[in-house]
C-alpha cells in the first residue's frame, strides 16, 4: 500500500553579480550583489519549487518555467512557487513542513531568518513553526565561499489530503 506521505528535495545555485537584487525566500536582502538569473534568482524559492514538484511526482522547475522562454524573463519566484503549490494541492497533497539550507558567504542571513521563515510560510500556506531556514557559509572554499555564488537546498514533507 502506498504511503500517504512523501519527501521532496530541491537544490539551486546561482552566480552572484553586481547590479542585481538578492532575493532569498521571497525577501529582498540588502547586498551589493544578487543572483544572475532569468528570473529574480531566488535560490530558496527555486529549490522549494523543485522540492514540492518532486515530492508530488509532478514535474520540475525547468520544465514548468524554462529559462529559454522570453515571456518568463524576470518572473518573480513567488509566482513559480504559487503555481507549483496549486499543482501539488490539485494532485491531492498538502505541505506538512519545510526545511531549507542557504549557502552564502555574505551578507549574514541570521538577521533576516525570521522574515524569510514568515514569507515562506505565507507563500506555502502553513504556519511559520512548520518552516525552518538555516544559513551556512562556504568557509572560504569554492564559489560560495569565495562570494561568487549563492545556493540553497530545500526538503519538503507532503501528506495526502484525506
What value does the mean pLDDT take over residues 137-159?
96
Domain count, the chain: 1
pLDDT greater than 90 at residue 43: yes
**Res 162: pLDDT:** 83
Domain containing residue 146: 5-160
1, 20, 53, 94 from 91: Cα distances, Å: 18, 36, 10, 9
4-20 residue pLDDT tens: 999 999 999 999 999 99
Contact 64, 50 (CB under 8 A): no
Say whether pTM exceeds 0.85: yes
The single residue listed with the C-alpha cell 511526482 is 57
The cell for 31 is 547586498
Looking at residue 32, which CATH number applies to its domain? 3.30.1330.50
Report helix, strand or coil for 141.
Answer: coil
C-beta separation of 41 from 6 below 8 A: no
Count of H helices and E strands in the chain? 5, 7
**Summary mean pLDDT of the chain:** 95
pLDDT given for residue 53 in this prediction: 98
pLDDT per residue as tens digits for the range 116-137: 999 999 999 999 999 999 999 9
68 pLDDT more than 80: yes
At residue 141 the predicted structure's pLDDT band, cuts being 50, 70 and 90, is: very high
Amino acid at each position: 500500500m502506498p504511503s500517504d506521505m512523501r519527501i521532496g528535495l530541491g537544490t539551486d545555485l546561482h552566480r552572484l553579480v553586481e547590479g542585481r537584487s538578492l532575493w532569498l525566500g521571497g525577501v529582498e536582502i540588502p547586498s551589493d550583489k544578487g543572483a544572475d538569473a532569468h528570473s529574480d534568482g531566488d535560490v530558496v524559492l527555486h529549490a522549494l519549487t523543485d522540492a514540492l514538484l518532486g515530492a508530488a511526482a509532478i514535474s520540475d522547475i525547468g520544465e514548468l518555467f524554462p529559462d529559454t522562454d522570453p515571456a518568463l524573463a524576470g518572473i518573480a519566484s513567488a509566482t513559480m512557487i504559487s503555481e507549483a503549490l496549486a499543482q501539488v494541492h490539485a494532485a491531492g497533497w498538502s505541505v506538512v513542513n519545510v526545511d531549507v539550507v542557504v549557502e552564502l558567504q555574505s551578507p549574514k542571513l541570521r538577521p533576516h531568518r525570521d522574515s524569510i521563515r514568515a514569507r515562506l510560510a505565507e507563500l506555502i500556506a502553513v504556519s511559520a513553526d512548520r518552516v525552518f531556514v538555516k544559513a551556512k557559509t562556504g568557509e572560504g572554499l569554492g564559489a560560495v565561499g569565495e562570494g561568487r555564488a549563492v545556493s540553497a537546498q530545500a526538503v519538503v514533507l507532503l501528506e495526502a489530503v484525506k
